[in-house]
Amino acid sequence: MMFDLVVRNGRVVTPEGIAPATLGVKGGTIAALVPPGEDVTGRDAIDAAGKLLLPGLVDAHSHIPGFVLPSPEEDFDSATRAAAAGGVTTVLLMPTDKPRTDTAATFALKKASGEGRAHVDYALQAVAGPATESLVELMDQGPVSFEIFLAYGGNPDFMIGADDYELARVLRLVAAVDALAGITPHSPSLIARLTAEQKKVVAPTLETRALTRPVLSEALGISRACTVAAETGTRIHLRGLSARRSLDIVARFRDLVPLSTEVMSHHLLFDAEDAKRMGAYGVITPPLRSSADRAALRAAARRGEIDMAVSDHSPGLRAEKERGQADIWATPPGMPGLQTLCASLLALVDDGQLTLPDLVRLGCENPARRFGLFPRKGVLAPGADADIVIVDPAAATLIRDSDQHSKADYTTLAGRTIDWTLERVLLRGRTIFHQGSFPSQPSGRFVRP
């Protein structure tokens, strides 16, 4: 067979290990994995000798304000450039950015808005909340999940809040269409009361703000969601685990609820002491926790007790963050993370906290499986899209603010050197990022389960 592209002599990383292979690509998909040395021909070829071949990462939790309506914070071009530069070839978009993804019409609008503008593939998540009466029409559009918010910033009308009747009703709607419910946990009443108390503090600090979302709030939200899901039989995905207590609660429900979990990459890398150093740039939700919590999260990720790592890309602009240096309540929570998701996981490999197979399991295969995109995404195997990240293990990279492509032109990893370089990123066999440049026009597509 004559291939469109041959990627020769690389080492393919899977959750099971690392093995040498040559990839043959045809029609945008991987047509063959052949042993090294076997003669294969292609119209184009890439010599990956000495390099590692990873599947393109699947980021299951990201926010892109401005991908429909104009926004100074981010747009489809800037965000997906950042994703491509960071080895993320499929982005799953949370539904809260305006216009909210809560109807078939807004879903269709967002789906169309990325066509011709996205540098990577994208999938959409939809809202399910108190106003939701049926999910059938939305389900036909192809969401990867229906997102349920037990707590959120302010008091939005899509939040379930403390209403257990509504939580059970909406989870039954999700189960009725055999879909996945993404759960943003926490206790809204606890957050509201603690926020009111802490805003009375005369000289508030980052720690003051972190007190409004304690581990107890997260634990209450997780246990409540799991208890109701056990009753309704709904498949759930728990967002943003950040503490050892959360892991303990999840472990008790594993045999009762078809659940999966995620951790944000910054909770694996940083702790509360790092947040103090970052100042307003360290304001995120949930807050960075203790070093003991971080150690528990890392161990759980290694053992497979956390299913995936995500970026929670939330691109607050530098000016917005700087306002928080004088008034910690004035800055929006969040960090940009699309471009640094893979780099963060590689930093953890450098530190001996993860292995390369762990990276592929957490960042590629598991999110693709859970959100219905496997085996098209998340794996380098015959029949999969040829989404390939070529990593040079012999070249180190200094992470710098000046190299970031998000409109949030900074990263909390700035100044960190990792022992790897993301040399080239391919989407369906086409190079979309190579040695700092974007050699092709946007070719990202909408993908559905």
Cα separation of 230 and 259, whole Å? 10
For residue 15, is pLDDT > 80? yes
Task: Identify the pLDDT of residue 1.
Answer: 82
Place of tokens 């292609």: 42
- What does the pLDDT average to over 4-12? 97
- What does the pLDDT average to over 30-35? 95
- What does the pLDDT average to over 345-358? 98
Kindly report which listed range (61-70, 172-181, 219-228, 279-288) carries the lowest average pLDDT score. 61-70
**Residue pLDDT, tens place only, 381-433:** 999 999 999 999 999 999 999 999 999 999 999 999 999 999 999 999 999 99
For residue 69, is pLDDT > 90? no
For residue 55, is pLDDT > 80? yes
Cβ-Cβ contacts under 8 Å for 288 (sequence gap 6 or more): 210, 242, 266, 267, 270, 271, 272, 274, 275, 282, 294
Residue type, 85: A
How far, in whole angstroms, is CA 77 from its chain's centroid? 18
Task: Identify the pLDDT of residue 42.
Answer: 95
Q: What are the tokens at 211?
A: 């007190």
Delimit the CATH 3.20.20.140 region(s) of the chain: 57-370
Counting every residue, how long is the chain? 449
Task: Identify the pLDDT of residue 339.
Answer: 98
What's domain 57-370's architecture? Answer: Alpha-Beta Barrel (3.20)
Delimit the CATH 2.30.40.10 region(s) of the chain: 2-53+383-434
Kindly report which listed range (83-92, 108-117, 139-148, 163-172) carries the lowest average pLDDT score. 108-117
Cβ-Cβ contacts under 8 Å for 53 (sequence gap 6 or more): 7, 10, 11, 12, 13, 21, 23, 380, 388, 389, 390, 391
The DSSP bridge pattern shows strands 180-184 and 145-149 to be: parallel
Q: What percent of the chain has pLDDT over 90?
A: 93
For residue 38, is pLDDT > 90? no
Averaged pLDDT score across all residues of the chain:
96
Task: Identify the pLDDT of residue 154.
Answer: 72
Q: Is omega for the bond preceding 55 within 30 degrees of 0, making it cis?
A: no
Task: Identify the pLDDT of residue 267.
Answer: 98
3-state SS, the chain, equals: CEEEEEEEEEEEEECCEEEEEEEEEECCEEEEEECCCCCCEEEEEEECCCCEEEECEEEEEECCCCCCCCCCCCCHHHHHHHHHHCCEEEEEECCCCCCCCCCHHHHHHHHHHCCCCCCCEEEEEEECCCCCCCCHHHHHHCCCEEEEECCCCCCCCCCCCCCHHHHHHHHHHHHHCCCEEEEECCCHHHHHHHHHHHCCCCCCCHHHHHCCCCHHHHHHHHHHHHHHHHHHCCEEEECCCCCHHHHHHHHHHCCCCCEEEEEEHHHHHCCHHHHHHHHHHHCCCCCCCCHHHHHHHHHHHHHCCCCEEECCECCCCHHHHHHHHHCHHHCCCCECCCCCHHHHHHHHHHCCCCCHHHHHHHHHHHHHHHCCCCCCCCCCCCCCECCEEEEECCCCEECCHHHCCCCCCCCCCCCCEECCEEEEEEECCEEEEECCECCCCCCCCECCC
In this structure, whether the domain defined by 2-53+383-434 belongs to CATH 3.40.50.1580 is answered with: no
Cα separation of 19 and 52, whole Å? 9
Cα separation of 374 and 45, whole Å? 26
- What does the pLDDT average to over 67-84? 85
**Residue pLDDT, tens place only, 291-317:** 999 999 999 999 999 999 999 999 989
For residue 70, is pLDDT > 70? no
User: Which of 116, 66, 59 minimizes the C-alpha distance to 92?
Assistant: 59
- What does the pLDDT average to over 342-365? 98
For residue 139, is pLDDT > 70? yes
The CA distances from residue 162 to 156, 203, 213, in Å, are: 13, 31, 15
Residue 424 bridge partners (DSSP): 390, 434
Task: Identify the pLDDT of residue 207.
Answer: 96
Task: Identify the pLDDT of residue 37.
Answer: 79
The DSSP bridge pattern shows strands 388-392 and 52-55 to be: antiparallel
Q: What percent of the chain has pLDDT over 70?
A: 99
